[in-house]
Structure 1
Amino acid sequence: MEEAKKIVGDIINKKIAPIYFLMGEEPYYIDRITDYIAKNVLTEEEQGFNQMTVYGKDTTVDEIVSNAKRFPMMAEYQVVIVKEAQHLSRTIEQLAEYAKNPQPTTVLVFNYKYKKLDKRKKVYKEIAKTGIIFESKKLYENQVADWIRRVLSGKGYKITPKAAALLVEFLGTDLSKISNELEKLYLVLKKNTEITADNIETHIGISKDYNNFELKKAVGERNFEKASRIVAYFAQNPKDNPFVVTISLLNNFFIQLLQYHGLTDHSQRNVASSLGVSPYFVKEYQTAAKNYPMKSISGIIAGLRKLDLMGKGLGAQNLSQADLLKELLNTVF
């Protein structure tokens, strides 16, 4: 995020590189930087003659280089954007010669998603000397809630830990998808608002009471009645609550609980750091540890893994989600 901000800041300050190679597993920042360059390096009047977008699957490196070597018309720069550039991965090494001595009046942008250049290759080394290489790494799930908080803070909002956890649970680590949902909140909530689970439920449609986050909490508290209500809701809404997601989350929860028991320092800070969770949720692990001794957890994890295989059709034929969820409760209670 900071590196992306620096690239944009440099462009604002007219420190513009001749090549921007934007690559990596997380497409969000690749697209954001590409869009910023497309909208801000040239004026609207200049864009008509001096900006072009091509697609990797429809072009070649030679054609891109040929376009890049042209001079701008009545403008300081021309911008050449290559989207879906990952389709050129087999021939991208051919760009090395151009990268040695790029056209200074051309801004050449490669939108190279889900892949990255080999740092040992000549093309990487040449681009690194004359241009900008930006690698957009996918965030781990335990990093996404902090990312949400930082993004919202930049927009003038706050968010409760539970609301952030709900977003991560239902949207995963896809930053573009999360960003799109946050846009909905900007439209209906005033700045300086603290976004709550109620806001998420009302404006995004994620239930604040019937979700894996609440199921995990109910299991940790050994609250069978609450867990049963949530499981019944999941059984009635299987498409919105895939069994594979539920079993995976609970399996990870018990693995973390096993790690918790192995810690000698149970302070909030150390637990949060060791388990990779928000300090806000440490109390849940403290409560669950009292309800699930270390000896019982290994058996539960083994049972969950067996159930996971059953959910995938191994060892049990045509078992409904409702039946799988009943077995899940029997395994953890």
Structure 2
Amino acid sequence: MVNAIWKSISEGKIEPVYLLMGVERHLIDETIKRLIQALPDGEEDAVVRFDLDETPIEAVIEEADTLPFLVERKLVIANNTSFLKAADKTKEKVVHNITLLEEWLSNPSPTATVVFLAPYEKLDGRKKITKLMMQKSTVVEALPLVGRDLTTWIQNEASSFGIKISPEIAQVLIDMTGDSLLALSSELEKIAMYMDGKGEVTKEIVEMLVPRLPEMDVFRLTDAYMNGNIKETIKIYHDLLGNGEEPIMLTSLIAGQIRLMIHVASLAKKGYHQQQIAKTLNVHPYRVKLVMENRSIPKMERLLVILEKLADIDYKLKSTSGKRERVLEIFFMEPLKG
């Protein structure tokens, strides 16, 4: 897990080669930040960056094997390691000497740490270079975190700011902020500043300091509607209006949530599990998890009826000049069947 690798870096146990792979950019950026901080005096002058879409791998190897000047160790960062992916049909700009890289990986430089960045969803595991890179480097999988992994990450991140947070309160933070690690880290830093870097986070502190994302409130709104809780639905709706949200945008977001429910239900019926569904629909696994755990979702036929009604509402909102807020409110007050 990435936390174990970060711990080793903080203890000064720096490996010669790292492979940072995956689409969760915050984990990649944070790992690089920690590697830079691990340099003597955290010297930025000891960091050399390459873009492998523009520069051949030979230049990276040459730089790594060149003795550092006035520093004990250098950090070489090679971005866009696209040759680890499946071959692209479009012609590559740069031809890389992969044989040279294979030889170098067996005997990397003792005075440099080389970080290969592969910010892609999937690598080609059939390639010899990909297999060798996975074997010879310390691999950081920068994948979206869900469930217990996400909660653990929040607790560790809070600890780095000097504060504590329970799994239950971490979930409250997720419910309000979403699952973006960058956004969660930013909110935790703000909370830590308010708490003067000590103590345990409470629900009251989170609710006071952390603004809800419209998308998360739309999930609460849709969930309340599906549960037949008209009073709660109208309350959330009016809160959103009070925060400046427009009925047209809310209608679009609710329709998107209904479509997600339909797709998740369809794929789950075919035997797809959570991760497969998330990948197929290109959405974060956390959103799929929330839908799959929701027992109040109506049958498919009813969802399609709701979606059709939302399309009518969208048309009315775009063609009327009256009180648009009332159009969506009437929809929420209709009893949900099925």
TM-score, normalised to structure 1's length? 0.68
Task: For residue 36 of structure 1, report the CA deviation from its aligned partner.
Answer: 0.8
Q: CA offsets per residue over residues 45-93 of structure 1, 9 Å max, x none?
A: 6x53x43234455544332222222112354422112345569975586
Q: Quote how far apart the aligned CAs of 1:211 are.
A: 2.8
Find the counterpart in structure 2 of residue 271 from structure 1. none
Please, which of 100, 119, 125 is the counterpart of residue 97 of structure 1?
100
Give the superposition deviation at 1:8: 2.8
User: Which of 117, 120, 128 lines up with 2:126 in the alignment?
Assistant: 120
Alignment partner of 1:152 is 2:169? no
- The 1:62/1:207 distance shift into structure 2, 3 A limit, reads closer
Counterpart for residue 268 of structure 1:
none
Indicate yes or no: 2:69 matched with 1:73.
Answer: yes
Percent identity over the alignment?
19
Q: Secondary structure at the match of 2:126?
A: coil
- Pick from 213, 229, 234 the counterpart of residue 228 of structure 1: 234
Aligned to 1:39: 37
Q: Which residue does 1:270 correspond to in 2?
A: none
Conserved 8 A contact 2:8-2:14: yes
- Contact 2:75/2:113, CA 8 A, preserved across alignment: yes
1:40 CA displacement:
0.5
The answer to which of 317-326 and 186-195 deviates more is: 317-326
1:199-222 Cα shifts (integer Å, max 9, x gaps): 3343233389x9335435643553
The equivalent of 1:263 in structure 2 is none
Give the aligned partner of residue 30 of structure 1: 28
Matched with 1:246 is 254
SS at match of 1:20: strand
Aligned residue in 2 for 1:261: none
Match of 2:318 in 1: 318
Q: In angstroms, what is the RMSD of aligned CA positions?
A: 4.3
**Runs of 5+ unmatched residues, structure 2:** 86-91, 267-287
Counterpart amino acid of residue 192 in structure 1: G
Structure 1 residue corresponding to 2:305, chosen from 285, 303, 313: 303
Aligned in 2, Cα 1:93/1:200: closer, same or farther, shift over 3 Å?
A: farther
CA distance in 2, matches of 1:328, 1:141: 31
- Report Cα offsets for 1:68-123 as digits up to 9, x if no partner: 22112354422112345569975586455224322232211123324443221122
Name structure 1 gaps, 5 residues minimum. Answer: 259-274
May I ask how many residue pairs the two structures share in their alignment?
296
Maintained 8 Å contact 1:20/1:131: yes
Task: Indicate the larger mover: 234-243 or 15-24.
Answer: 234-243
Partners of 1:111 and 1:326 in 2: how far apart?
51
Residues 1:16 and 1:160: Cα distance change in structure 2 (over 3 Å): closer
User: Judging changes above 3 Å, is the alpha-carbon distance between structure 1 residues 238 and 95 closer, same or farther for their aligned structure 2 residues?
Assistant: farther
Q: Label 1:251 to 1:159 Cα distance change in 2 as closer, same or farther (>3 A).
A: farther
- SS of corresponding position for 2:49: strand
Q: CA deviation at 1:33?
A: 1.1
Cα distance change of structure 1 residues 319 and 82 upon mapping to structure 2, 3 Å threshold = farther
- Which residue matches 1:332? 336
In the alignment, is the contact (CA less than 8 A) between 1:94 and 1:123 conserved in 2? no
Partner Cα separation in structure 2 for residue 174 and residue 201 of structure 1: 18
**In 1, distance between residues paired with 2:153 and 2:5?**
19
Q: Which amino acid aligns with 1:35?
A: K
Shift in alpha-carbon separation, 1:304–1:149, aligned structure 2, 3 A: farther
Q: 1:64 aligns with which of 38, 51, 60?
A: 60
Counterpart of 1:138 in structure 2 is: 144
Q: Which residue of 1 aligns with 2:16?
A: 18
Taking the TM superposition and a 5 Å limit, the aligned residue runs for 1:199-278 are 199-206=205-212, 211-212=217-218, 214-216=220-222, 218-219=224-225, 222-235=228-241, 237-238=244-245, 242-249=250-257, 276=289
> Structure 1 residues 257 and 137, CA, compared in 2 at 3 Å: closer, same or farther?
closer
| 1:142–1:250 distance in 2 versus 1, CA, 3 Å | farther
